[in-house]
Structure 1
Amino acid sequence: MQYSLVIPAHNEADNLPPLLAEIAALPPFRRPAEIILVDDASEDETAAVMAGLVAANPRLRLLRLPRRSGQSAAMLAGARAARSPWVATIDADGENDPADLPPMIELAIASGADLVGGLRRERKSSGSKQLASHIANGLRRRVLKDGCSDSACGLKLVRRDLLLRLPSFNGMHRFLPALVQIAGGHTRFIGVNDRPRRHGRSNYDNLGRAARGLIDMAGVLWLKRRGLAAAVAAAEEAARIEEPRIRAGRHS
């Protein structure tokens, strides 16, 4: 499977070099075809570090957003620039383990899923962050019924064409499993490693993220109840199945 790896980053100058070194150590047949670094208007040395990394590695590409736009915008910018049929995402802070990418690829191939999402095991974040995440995931899972216990995990693998058809909004990266399902796609999930942040501090606060998440969840629920994407996808699939039968009938 050929895939592009998108790494959104805001103020992650110290975390990017060791992360890229780990990605380079992946098995050759499971390394990404390209790595797209997306600088979300960083205020530290991230842009300079990215430029140095790109100069040393022809598989790296660099995008810079002119103003702070958020992780969803950075993810979509990278996906639009990607040249592969699949897009993987990973957080730039080092909390996600690149070694989990090969098993995710194997699961996508074996299951035929349109999205494979990571479920973080043995969380290493602070107690308050874990509690907030547990509450948010539980509420989202009960309301949206997406079957995902960790929608905010940064490790995801998704078909690029499907990702670019999804409704886009700030915060959509936390609702990708539900959005893919609403669009008629199939999702699978796999346990992945969780690691402590190497350097710096998180770009999110629990209270602000929770408030925005409730508003976003209401919007996704509206799409689930009123959207037509799944019905259209089912009709297209039925047409693809029926067409060979019609052709066969004409020749009989």
Structure 2
Amino acid sequence: MRSGWVSPRVSGERETILGAVPDVSVVVPVRDEVESLPLLLGAIASTLINSRLSYEIICVDDGSSDGSAEFLKTEAQGRNDLKAVILRRNYGQTAAMAAGFNYALGRVIVTLDADLQNDPADIPMLIAKLDEGYDLVSGWRQKRQDGALNRLLPSKIANWLIRRTTSVDIHDYGCSLKAYRAELVADMHLYGELHRFLPALAYIEGARITEMPVRHHARRFGKSKYGLSRTFRVLMDLLTILFMKKFLTRPMHVFGLLGLISMVVGVVIGVYLTVVKLAWGEDIGNRPLLILAVLLLVTGVQLFCFGLLAELLMRTYHESQGRPIYRVREVVAKNVK
């Protein structure tokens, strides 16, 4: 693949080099997994060929330093089912998945990790579940082969918190093995580290979501890139998802409400202090309540202005991209095809 190639999904084209749209695009973010890649590529190809599904594999190298990029480039030059997308540096898993989505041409897009802990043999099962009418099928690693304290416990806590916050009943948000309809992925835009919240983002887009148990294997090569430090990033991203879920198209409802409450409380305190000063003749200049009243009034005005700015940004976000504020699942009428 030449380095200046434009993403077909971004440019609007829907044809591969061979002129056919594959049934499945398998997107694999890669960082320092050179030992796993030969086995992974073989397992994916064998599984999909045996399932009689046309496919392509998009491996996105996210700044590897162990020879993964060189291996992928060599493989891509010698086989027709592999695209090697080499990023200029390490951007993170979210960016790698977004790049894979942009280059994917399949009717169904499947994601999985490159470390061989996800089992490619589960891919046909996820695709069959999609055919039951779902837009996203998420894997559930019921029997995880990871450390109890550094991986399992933080994961359980994070999954419980995300379920309660987003109202999306998925037990294993961290499982990379997922299957999506291509039209759903086209509506989702990934930034920051939002790859963990893809089911929640899909829910915002009105997707029908389910999960099913998948196999999970112990890591055979290398070491995990994740640790306890990601817990804090998850919490910050969770606040972003919560805001997008509830107030993406009406940010004034949150900023304006908080600003209004702040201003009302400030005015009430101000009226009270005025009565104390005029009716009782007491000195209010040194009272902390006066400072609080001024602070609440200024904060309220600022929050209200933030709400107005957020409304303008929201309208720019939707109108500049031609993005409607709704999603249509289907149109049923006698003369509509």
The question of a shared fold, defined as TM-score above 0.5 by the shorter chain, is answered with yes
Do the aligned partners of residues 226 and 102 (structure 1) sit closer, same or farther apart at CA in structure 2, a change above 3 Å counting?
Answer: same
Partner of 1:232: 326
Task: Describe the shift of the 1:172–1:30 C-alpha distance in structure 2 as closer, same or farther (beyond 3 A).
Answer: farther
Q: Residues 126-185 of structure 1: CA distance to partner in whole angstroms, max 9, x if unpaired?
A: 112111111110111111111101011010111223213224212221111111111111
User: Rg: which structure is higher?
Assistant: 2
Give the secondary structure class of the aligned counterpart of 1:188. Answer: strand
**Worse-superposed segment, 26-35 or 36-45:** 26-35
Q: Give the number of aligned pairs.
A: 240
SS in 2 for 1:61: strand
Give 1:136's aligned amino acid: A
Question: What per-residue deviation string (whole Å, max 9, x for no partner) do you get for residues 183-241 of structure 1?
Answer: 111111110011111100111222x21000000001101111113599712xx347x23
Query: Among residues 197, 211, 220, which one is paired with 2:232 in the alignment?
Result: 211
Name the structure, 1 or 2, with higher relative contact order (CA <8 Å, separation 6+).
Answer: 1
Q: Which has the larger displacement, 167-176 or 144-153?
A: 167-176
Question: What amino acid is aligned across from residue 118 of structure 1 in structure 2?
Answer: G
Aligned counterparts of 1:147 and 1:218: Cα–Cα separation in 2: 18
Find the aligned partners of 2:52 and 2:161 in 1 and give their Cα distance. Answer: 35
Tell me if 1:165 matches 2:187.
yes
State the distance in 2 between where 1:168 and 1:154 align.
15
Correspondence for 1:7: 28
The structure 2 residue matched to 1:130, chosen from 152, 163, 175, is 152
Q: Which residue of 2 aligns with 1:66?
A: 88
Give the Cα separation in 2 of the matches to 1:155 and 1:201: 19
1:140 to 162, 165, 184: 162
Change (3 A) 1:70 1:27: closer
For residues 145 and 72 of structure 1, the distance between their equivalents in structure 2, rounded to whole angstroms, comes to 22
Give me the identity figure in percent: 35
Aligned AA (1:16): L
CA distance in 1, matches of 2:130, 2:60: 25
SS in 1 for 2:84: strand
Matched to 1:232, the amino acid is Y
Name the aligned partner's letter for residue 220 of structure 1. I
Q: TM-score, normalised by structure 1?
A: 0.89
**Partner of residue 101 from structure 1, selected from 116, 123, 127:** 123
Please state whether the residue corresponding to 2:25 is helix, strand or coil.
strand
Which residue number in structure 2 is paired with residue 223 of structure 1?
244
Unaligned runs of 5+ in 1: none
Q: Which residue of 2 aligns with 1:36?
A: 58
- 2:272 aligns with none
For the residue of structure 1 that corresponds to 2:326, the secondary structure is: helix
Normalising by structure 2, we get a TM-score of 0.67
The 1-side partners of 2:204 and 2:56 are apart by 29
Cα distance change of structure 1 residues 34 and 106 upon mapping to structure 2, 3 Å threshold: same
Root-mean-square deviation (CA), in Å? 1.9
- Alignment-mate amino acid for residue 36 of structure 1: I
C-alpha separation in 1, matches of 2:107 and 2:25: 8
What CA deviation, in whole Å up to 9, does each residue of 1:44-65 have, x standing for no partner?
A: 1111221232233211111011
Say which of 188, 192, 202 aligns to 2:214: 192
Relative to structure 1, is the Cα distance of residues 30 and 148 closer, same or farther in structure 2, using a 3 angstrom cutoff?
farther
Structure 2 gap segments, 5+ residues each: 1-21, 250-322
- Which deviates more, 99-108 or 157-166? 157-166
